[in-house]
Amino acid sequence: MQQHAATLINASAILIIFPLLLLLSAIMGLLLFSPLGTPLFKLLAARAMQKKNYAFAARLYERIYHWQELMEGADVYAKQAAFAWEQVGDLRQALAFSQKGEDWAKVGQLLIEMGKMEQAIEVFREHNLPARLAFCYEQTGHFWGAGELYELELDNHHKAMRFYEKSLQQDTLSPLDRIRVRLLMARTAFRLGKKEESLSHFEMAEALLAKPEAPQPDEHLKVVFRTVQLLLNGK
């Protein structure tokens, strides 16, 4: 009789515990494999970052990003994953998540670190990051390009003039670009209130253009020429 009662109690316990275990498993599954786990994963990722366990943090932020990818603010998790991967030293993963997070300054920086300067230049140009682009131009010796960015985009005419002067010192500067730089210097000097210096640079450019062996001006040079001409004529 007692044995039968014990058997019934055990059976009842199993009937109660088993559904609870199933429910607990379902809850754990939801927390680990669905967006409902986002708060838990954020907490774990933050703690991992504090402990400098960057590889674990990166994987957690990856999971959160994939859960939230189509929702507003998902780029934050992509950037956090990118940062963590960068700390690990995995630049390829850092680049991928910087792109997902549309952190174009970081994308360009990582491309430079990976030795992909031309790709970095394209990123900075496409996403209108003139200061970053000017840095790349400076690193690659494209000094007049850097100067024009400082003149037109970054409102730093003195720095622009220094880059133009540096460009003129290059032995590799083509005849066409030598004329171009003189015109750029004329435009910048005028904007600095140095009209006589501006006129001097313009006249040097005109003299170079008048030579029989002068190269054919491209559209950019023509525009700069007309701009300086109008400035000097007071129009």
Same-domain status, 68 and 148:
no
For residue 38, the model assigns a pLDDT of 81
- Note whether 70 and 99 are same-domain residues: yes
Q: Are residues 122 and 133 in the same domain?
A: no
Residues 235 and 212 in one domain: yes
- The verdict on residue 2 lying in a domain is no
- Look at residues 94, 109, 128 and tell me which one is the last residue of a structural domain: 128
- 167 lies in some domain: yes
Which pLDDT score, from 0 to 100, does residue 154 have? 97
Are 148 and 109 contained in the same domain? no
- Annotate the chain with three-state secondary structure: CHHHHHHHHHHHHHHHHHHHHHHHHHHHHHHHHCHHHHHHHHHHHHHHHHCCCHHHHHHHHHHHHHHHCCCCCHHHHHHHHHHHHHHHCCHHHHHHHHHHCCCHHHHHHHHHHCCCHHHHHHHHHHCCCHHHHHHHHHHCCCHHHHHHHHHHCCCCHHHHHHHHHHHHCCCCCCHHHHHHHHHHHHHHHHHCCCHHHHHHHHHHHHHHHHCCCCCCCCHHHHHHHHHHHHHHCCC
115: containing domain? 34-128
Q: Do both 57 and 77 map to the same domain?
A: yes
Q: Are residues 68 and 107 in the same domain?
A: yes
Q: Is residue 6 a part of any domain in this protein?
A: no
Among 128, 145, 178, give the residue marking a domain's end: 128
In a domain, 196, yes or no: yes
Same domain, 217 and 134: yes
Number of domains in the chain: 2
Whether 68 and 123 share a structural domain: yes
CATH code (residue 173): 1.25.40.10
**Which portions of the chain are predicted below pLDDT 70?**
1-36, 70, 235
Tell whether 98 is covered by a domain. Answer: yes
The answer on 136 and 124 residing in a single domain is: no
Q: Residues near 137 by Cβ (< 8 Å), separated by ≥ 6?
A: 121, 143, 145, 146, 149
Asked which of 89, 107, 128 is the last residue of a domain, the reply is: 128
